Structure 1
Amino acid sequence: MDLLRANDRDGAYPPSYYASTVPARPALPAAQGPIHTDVCIVGGGYTGLSAALHLAERGYDVVVLEAQRVGFGASGRNGGQVASGPRLDLSTLEARYGRETAHAQWALAREARKLVDELVARGLDCDLRAGVIYATDRAGDVAGYHAEAAHVQAAVGYDGVTPLDRDRIAALVGSAVYAGGVLDAGAAHLNPLKLVLGLADLAQVAGAQIFEGSQVRSVADAGPHVVVTTDAATIAAEQVILAGNGYIGGLDSATAAHVMPINSYMVATEPLGPDADAILPEGHAVADNKFVVNYFRRAPDGRLLFGGGESYRYRFTPDIAGKVRGPLERIFPQLRGIGIDYAWGGTLAITRSRLPFARKVSPRVFSAGGYSGHGVALSLLFGKAMAEAAAGEPERFNQLAALPHAPFPGGAALRAPLLLGAMSLAGLRDRLPF
């Protein structure tokens, strides 16, 4: 099944709250005829546009091919949370990969976080706001959250994390569900569609050409150029960057074996009004400890943006609002029956390690993806690293690609059914009372 068309209207943005916050943009033209370029980038999301911006600013001729619209995928419809560190705790990274690799991963994640601030400093308005709460509803987990905050400060000198007890987290969230957690002042949240559209604008100003409605059918690294084909164009490139993430499909089977698409769902309520000022009164975002994570924040116009629920089949669930309403009302019973104005789904990509996957597909083709829910900042860094590699500076990309990854089991035919079973079983723990 073609994920690019399985759940959304062709050539249109999903009916998300984010789409309502930006002016309508005319579609960019599709690629036509023979084109020659220095670097062809497949995918017009954060990864591809970051690569395009950094290459164009170095003077390279860059072509971006987007199958739908810029930011059509996860980049334009995600929860908008920007982590200050990697997807995994520092102590987990140390245990799995050793101290040196773990600390290097932490440093890279910090650099990724700074890339967001640098874009905003250049005038990219994406409603950036500081502060993310990481919450747990399990009393036995609270001490571990607090210990990890202390460990991060001692090991890498990051002091942006404040421990929260039950009373303090209840006051900051506006819910009695959580037993405790931490507040990371260095993490942030933003409007993801504004970020990706602003990134596209910066890339175009720098000289990159972006084509929409240009789904790539094949990539062949043979002969004098890498040849990329769409339905209406043939692009001869010196190098190619694959930035399709969960939509990579058959363009690179090895990346597809390591990067698995899953669906996540979000809603935007009606504006809460002054009676709900106790909900997230200081404007933080929240992500909790559930295997199927609940993540939420207030929008600038007072709505609650709430993400919850996943599915592991190609099709979105038919009743997104109903699926998300359950966890929303469990956390905020005072909002029972609240009107939901927007409901949408999106396809993200995970890896088995929950760390991004990067590889050199062939001598002139690079690929990355699988940000596992932490892609807003990390994808910018991976795009920059692939741009550096294409420019003859592969050190950072090689560091990212050297991280060991195991593919999902089952091969192309059984990979998705096995994931469905494993993830559904793991998600059962969210319904256990202990």
Structure 2
Amino acid sequence: MALRRPDEHVDSWYARSAVPAPERPRLEGRVTADVAILGGGLTGLSAALELAEAGLRVVLLEARRIGWGASGRNGGQVIFGYSCDQAKIEALVGREDARRMFDWSIEAVDLVRQRIARHGIAADWRDGHAHVAIKPRHITELKAWQRDLEENYGYPLQWWDREQLREVLDSPRYLGGLYDPRSGHLHPLNYTLGIAAAAERAGALLFERTEVTKLERGAKPVLRTAHGEVQADFVVLAGNAIVHGIAPELDDKIMPVGTYVGATPPLGEELARQLIRNDMAVADINWALDYFRFSADHRLLFGGRASYSTLPPPNLPGVMMRRMARVFPQLKGVRFEHIWGGLIDISRNRAPHWGRLGNNIYFAQGFSGHGVATTGLAGRVIAEAIRGQAGRLDAFARIRHHDFPGGRTFRTPLLVAAMAWYKLRDALW
């Protein structure tokens, strides 16, 4: 096999099945803009789309290819809420703001669907998502979550006991599930490429293979690259787990974590519908969780494992096959045709970390593995703030975030040790 260029998309089923996309030019020379955006993932592209549609001059710089990072190779599950539960959000900002933020997360899910329809994006959207229970304590947790969401947030979900769930999900592993018909799943790279195309049609300028090497702050901040620079009234930092050193005060607030997805060969429509009759996406609620769904061509896309050292786990294909067979014994011996991974950015409290540096530099990070929908919301909220409506961004900026302990030298081994405890807890009770 020919070696892939390091600035091409990571080899994945998503990259192999992506719609054709143009190669954007590298930035050469000096340009000016109303807004300069670092990062060609869903946060940056969403902000670019919103701002360009409002008539602002927008320039977006991507170090590799549009959608190269987590936006183009994640599990594809589009879910309400945030990575931390609502109780944590309430503890951080109070009940009133927590309720508003939850409503905004529902807006984020709806925004994905609206953009697919409005811009004709071939993202293979499918309705439905279930959080499923492996152990009795999971049933207790899920039912408590169901009550809280219905009574305090006005968001009803369907509880399915083991028999009801088994009618839809042909797996012996689960004791019940909490189903949401409003959430769903999609082809994340095609969705990201579709948002990029929509932003360009609105007038945004997108540059690829243009790594930002320095941010110069001031009344007119500048993003510098090896071959050019962008001076703007406002800058948006949307590099998440991949970018370090551009704004050092942000770096220690997030930790990069490796996560992995595998795609089987096509299993055929009959078997796919036997295994997941309603074509929903599924995730368990273990700390080291499994999540899975079917693609449009009936491959099982199975995510699991996480590497808090960012190094791929040993024998990753074998581990992923065993995990898949625990969920679907019918697939024992089925190999993955593709396995790929990438980095997500987790915050210490798993809450979103969005805000501003000074008066003219905006950022969003800390999606903590729950970003397919909320990245779009982040881009919209930042665009609102740049246009003078900062109320929603201010609400998120009130969430207090702490550095990961241990500094650069020790924070990774400390996190690895902490995660070992949670994995032991998954295994024992």
Is structure 2 residue 414 aligned with structure 1 residue 418? yes
Q: Any conservation in 1 of the 2:93–2:398 contact (CA below 8 Å)?
A: no
In structure 2, what residue type is equivalent to 1:170? R
Equivalent residue, structure 1, for 2:121: 124
- Which residue, out of 220, 223, 228, partners 1:228? 223
1:417 and 1:25 map into 2 onto residues whose CA distance is: 40
- Tell me the residue number matched to 2:323: 327
Provide the rounded CA distance (Å) in 1 between the counterparts of 2:424 and 2:206: 43
What per-residue deviation string (whole Å, max 9, x for no partner) do you get for residues 188-229 of structure 1?
A: 11110111000000000000000000111110113x421111
For 1:100 and 1:275, locate their aligned partners in 2 and report how far apart those are by CA, in whole Å. 46
Question: Which residue type is aligned with residue 210 of structure 2?
Answer: S
Q: Is the Cα contact below 8 Å between 1:320 and 1:344 reproduced in 2? A: no
Q: Which amino acid aligns with 2:256?
A: P
Establish whether residue 249 from structure 1 lines up as the match of residue 206 from structure 2. Answer: no
Q: Deviations over 1:123-172 (max 9, x none)?
A: 2221111110101101233133123213312222212x100111122232
Q: CA deviation at 1:415?
A: 2.2
Matching residue of 2:105: 109
Q: Is the 8 A contact 2:288 2:305 kept in 1?
A: yes
For residues 22 and 375 of structure 1, the distance between their equivalents in structure 2, rounded to whole angstroms, comes to: 20
Once structures 1 and 2 are overlaid, which stretch shifts more, 322-331 or 301-310? Answer: 322-331
Matches within 5 A, 1:1-400: 9-95=5-91, 97-122=93-118, 123-159=120-156, 161-222=157-218, 224-273=219-268, 274-275=270-271, 277-317=273-313, 319-400=315-396
Change (3 A) 1:212 1:105: same
Give the secondary structure class of the aligned counterpart of 1:360: strand
Q: 1:318 to 1:213 in 2, by over 3 A?
A: farther
Provide the secondary structure at the position in 1 that maps to 2:351. Answer: coil
Question: How far, CA to CA, are the matches of 2:91 and 2:393 in structure 1?
Answer: 23
Structure 1 residues 92 and 219, CA, compared in 2 at 3 Å: closer, same or farther? closer
* Deviation digits for residues 5-26 of structure 1 (CA, Å, limit 9, x no counterpart): xxx8412111111112223434
Whole-angstrom CA distance in 2 between matches of 1:241 and 1:84: 24
Moved more, 33-42 or 196-205: 33-42
- How far residue 108 of structure 1 moved from its aligned partner, in angstroms, is 1.6
Deviation of 1:55 after TM superposition, in Å, equals 0.6
Q: How far 1:31 moved relative to its partner?
A: 0.6
Query: What are the Cα deviations for residues 374-402 of structure 1, in whole angstroms up to 9, with x where unaligned?
Result: 10111111111111222222221111111
The 1:170–1:9 alpha-carbon spacing in structure 2 relative to 1, beyond 3 Å, is farther
Taking the aligned partners of 1:43 and 1:351, their CA distance within structure 2 comes to 19
Distance 2:65 2:332 in 1: 35
User: Structure 1: which 5+ runs fail to align?
Assistant: 1-7
Task: Quote the Cα distance in structure 2 between the aligned partners of 1:351 and 1:38.
Answer: 30
Once the two structures are superposed, residues 312-344 of structure 1 have per-residue CA deviations (whole angstroms, 9 ceiling, x without a partner) of 224434644223222111111111110311110
Assess if the C-alpha contact under 8 Å between 2:97 and 2:395 holds in 1. Answer: no
Deviations 1:48-87 (A, max 9, x none): 0000001101111111000010000000000111112233
Structure 2 equivalent of residue 5 of structure 1: none
Q: Could you tell me which residue of structure 2 aligns to residue 3 of structure 1?
A: none
Deviation at 1:275, TM superposition (A): 4.3
Tell me which moved more, 22-31 or 201-210.
Answer: 22-31
Q: Which range is displaced more, 410-419 or 84-93?
A: 84-93
The offset of 1:306, in angstroms, is 0.2
Contact 2:72-2:189 within 8 A present in 1 as well:
yes
Q: CA RMSD in A?
A: 1.8
Structure 1 stretches of 4+ with a deviation exceeding 6 A read none
107-116 vs 22-31, which moves further: 22-31
Moved more, 68-77 or 423-432: 423-432
Partner Cα distance (2:304, 2:371) in 1: 17
Distance 2:213 2:58 in 1: 19
Q: Report the alpha carbon displacement of residue 174 of structure 1 after superposing the two structures with TM.
A: 1.1
Q: TM-score, normalising length from structure 2?
A: 0.95
SS of equivalent residue, structure 1 residue 28: coil
Q: Kindly indicate whether the alpha-carbon contact (under 8 Å) linking 1:246 and 1:259 is maintained by their aligned counterparts in 2.
A: yes
- In structure 2, C-alpha distance between the alignment counterparts of 1:25 and 1:188, rounded to whole Å: 25
SS in 2 for 1:371: coil
C-alpha spacing 1:156/1:425, structure 2 compared with 1 (3 Å): closer
Q: What letter matches 1:316 in structure 2?
A: P
Q: Distance in 1 between matches of 2:355 and 2:93?
A: 18
CA deviations 1:101-129 (Å, max 9, x no partner) are: 32122112112112112202212221111
Task: Provide the rounded CA distance (Å) in 2 between the counterparts of 1:280 and 1:371.
Answer: 28
Partner of 1:106, secondary structure, is helix
Task: Tell which deviates more after alignment, 51-60 or 89-98.
Answer: 89-98
Q: Percent identity?
A: 38
